[in-house]
Amino acid sequence: MLKSYLSNPPHFFKAYKSNINRAPRKEFLKITKDINKGSVLKVLSKNFNMNNNLLLFKKNKSPIGQKIIIKGKVINGRGNPLKGIIIEIWQANAAGKYRDKNDTHDAAIDPNFLGYGATKTNSNGDYKFKTILPGAYPWGNHKNAWRPKHIHFSIINENISNRLCTQMYFPNDFLLNYDPIFNSIAKRYRNSLIAKFDNKNNIVPIT
């Protein structure tokens, strides 16, 4: 996964209502004080519960929903793989419900699904997660607003001050046409956010 600043959405996107009051309106401050980024990342990584399996099996019961495997690769601007990068994901369950006390959606919590995972890239820059296909859910952005199926990603590299937060979507989801978050991305970059099915290995690769 390669970060391109050209593909970033604008800080202020009018159709995304939650963005109106929290988007920065002034110039960003430059951080001039140097920090030992390597040691910070080392300490940070120790505090992560590295578990790339979001599925729980209690009393021989499996999570509800379609099980999927997500894999991807993290590379730098020169195309070289990056080792030891922390990848986090979090998502709603198959019913569109987050394991979060602040989630007011009236769908059920799945006791066999964590909804959160973290891992590190290997020497080839590769990572993998076992999870389920998330469900869509309503939100209050506009009338009859529903968020499309998506998975949140956080990617932290060796430069601890540089974190990429993004979302992965799924093909053939009609809700993408109405989602202001997805549509805040320039058209030429939107397909890069949509997962591709790997028919050879029966997995969902993220490139």
The model's pLDDT over 44-62, given as tens digits with 9 standing for 90+, comes to 555 556 777 878 767 678 8
Could you report the per-residue pLDDT of 149-172, keeping only the tens digit for each? 999 999 987 666 678 889 999 999
- Counting the structural domains of the chain, the total is 1
Domain assignment present for 30:
no
The pLDDT, as a whole number, for residue 207 is 45
Domain assignment present for 35:
no
Find residue 205's DSSP bridge partners.
71
Annotated active-site positions, please?
98, 137, 147, 150, 152
The pLDDT, as a whole number, for residue 24 is 75
Of 48, 207, 203, nearest to 131 (Cα)?
Answer: 203
Could you report the per-residue pLDDT of 128-143, keeping only the tens digit for each? 999 999 999 998 878 8
Domain assignment present for 187:
yes
Residue recorded with tokens 């021989």: 60
Could you report the per-residue pLDDT of 188-197, keeping only the tens digit for each? 999 999 999 8
Burial class (CB in 10 A: 0-12, 13-18, 19+), 129: buried
Show the domain range for 126. 5-24+50-206
- Look up the CATH number of the domain holding residue 166: 2.60.130.10
Domain assignment present for 110:
yes
C-alpha to C-alpha distance for 93 and 134, rounded to whole angstroms: 5
C-alpha to C-alpha distance for 99 and 93, rounded to whole angstroms: 8
